[in-house]
Structure 1
Amino acid sequence: MKLILASNSPRRRQLLADLGLAYETRLLDVAEDFPPHLRRAAVAEYLAAHKAAAYAAGLAPDEVVLTADTIVCLEDDVLNKPADAAEAAAMLGRLQGRAHDVFTGVCLRTGDGRQVVFSDRTTVHFRALSPAEIGHYIATARPFDKAGAYGAQDWIGLVGVTRLEGSYFNVMGLPTHRVWEELKKLGALPALPSAA
């Protein structure tokens, strides 16, 4: 099957390439609002499925679209992408010195109508950060396209993340181990070359 990535995230693109998967990128503008009663993993799964629904009509029978949404949760508060430097600083100020959860919801939808929705959770532990460290990160990385205002693969992750419980790649935006397994179940993986 032909894999369609419905994401503009350079991190998701790199992770799929690192898995050795060929894919095409298709982008639609889909609202990222969610019902207020949803909490934690349910938010990420809802958003991934909502995005996939927007692509359903345009899929060929031999195509599978991958949509994903990563959220950062501090207890039950969802920290989305910050609008500006002040909001980024406020988010990072709340996260530092504490543990929080990162959920990535994924939806795989085929052109013949099959769909699977799942999520993965990683707990991230941050050390206490100084205002200067937070300010430096915001000024140099400009993390306005990242949930929770940070990327674990960025400078702030190198100096601030003390421990992860779960998948590192999930924090980057795609639980690659689960994606691989679910694509395998759908029959959407290429044959692996065997050793000679």
Structure 2
Amino acid sequence: MIVQHLPYLSSKRIVLASQSPRRREILDLLGLKHEVVVSGFEENLDKSTFSHPSEYVLENARCKAEEVAKRFIGSDAPPDLVIGSDTVVILDNKILEKPLSEAEAFSMLKSLSNRNHTVLTSVALFLKDARTCTASFYEATNVSFAELNDNLIWEYIRTREPMDKAGAYGIQGIGGSLVKGVEGCYFNVMGFPMHRFATELARLIDQGAV
């Protein structure tokens, strides 16, 4: 774990290549001082070219982190660590990302009603002056949804919470009331696998890579 490494990490420049407030919150909970540099990667990968959703989500995270890491190559104060991440919901092997409209949010939530789905969150790590990804991984969490009627779905959409969330819900907000159960990492559903990240970062530190 990284608890014993926090004094060491406090002197490192850590950049999160994401504007997600949930990811910032989770890094704060870990006690990691960090800054945000939003990635300019357009997230327009062709899903049909990937044999499994995990490959898609891993590539999204890598591309996000790489775009930010490349900006700092050759700079006077490059980050010691750049973190990229991506979260998707998987239902019937279909990837559900952020809804583009209220109608799409309704369709997503209707499809999740009274069913189980999987949340995949990937992380890609670039170390100082790295031109290639140093480490990448993903975590899968199974989520069980309650049965939702149409009126409840529309009332939830009117809160605006679903509109910037993969799968059109946020477990850490009002959307948590729609969830019957979680099998796996709760923080993974929020958008960042806290335990897995802490384990992988500690491993890199122990190896002298960070």
Kept in 1: contact 2:14–2:80 (CA 8 A): yes
Equivalent residues in 2 for 1:28-107 (5 A)? 28-35=39-46, 36-38=48-50, 39-59=52-72, 60=77, 63-107=80-124
Q: Is the 8 A contact 1:141 1:154 kept in 2?
A: no
Task: Give 2:198's aligned residue.
Answer: 180
Deviation at 1:186, TM superposition (A): 2.4
| Structure 1 residue 33: Cα displacement | 2.0
Choose which of 161, 167, 187 in structure 1 pairs with 2:185.
Answer: 167
Of Structure 1 and Structure 2, the greater helix share is in 2
User: Runs ≥4 in structure 1, deviation > 3 angstroms?
Assistant: 59-62
In 2, Cα distance between equivalents of 1:57 and 1:151: 31
Residue of structure 1 equivalent to 2:152:
133
What is the TM-score when the length of structure 2 is the normalising length?
0.84
Letter in 1 for 2:92: E
Q: Structure 1 residues 127 and 62 mapped into 2: Cα distance closer, same or farther (>3 Å)?
A: closer
Structure 1: gaps of 5 or more residues: 189-196
Q: Does residue 150 of structure 1 match 2:186?
A: no
* Distance apart, 1:117 and its partner CA: 0.6
Q: Percent identity?
A: 40
Counterpart contact for 2:15–2:79, Cα < 8 Å = no
Shift of 1:71: 0.4
Residues 1:62 and 1:10: Cα distance change in structure 2 (over 3 Å): closer
| Whole-Å separation in 1 of the counterparts to 2:110 and 2:79 | 46
1:160-189 Cα deviation digits (max 9, x unpaired): 21111110000000000111112212229x
Secondary structure in structure 2 of the residue aligned to 1:97: coil
Structure 1 counterpart SS, 2:110: helix
Q: 2:161 touches 2:170 (CA, 8 Å); kept in 1?
A: no
Show the counterpart of 1:111.
128
Structure 1 window deviating more from structure 2 (105-114 vs 89-98): it is 105-114
**What letter corresponds to residue 184 of structure 1 in structure 2?**
A
Number of residue equivalences: 187
CA distance in 1, matches of 2:175, 2:198: 29
Question: Could you tell me whether the CA contact under 8 Å between 1:41 and 1:103 is conserved in 2?
Answer: yes
CA distance in 2, matches of 1:109, 1:45: 13
Deviation track 1:33-52 (CA, whole Å, cap 9, x = no partner) reads 22323122111111001112
User: Does structure 2 conserve the Cα–Cα contact (< 8 Å) formed by 1:63 and 1:110?
Assistant: yes
Tell me the CA shift for residue 62 of structure 1: 5.2
Give the gaps of 5 or more residues in structure 2: 1-11
Alignment RMSD, CA only?
A: 1.6
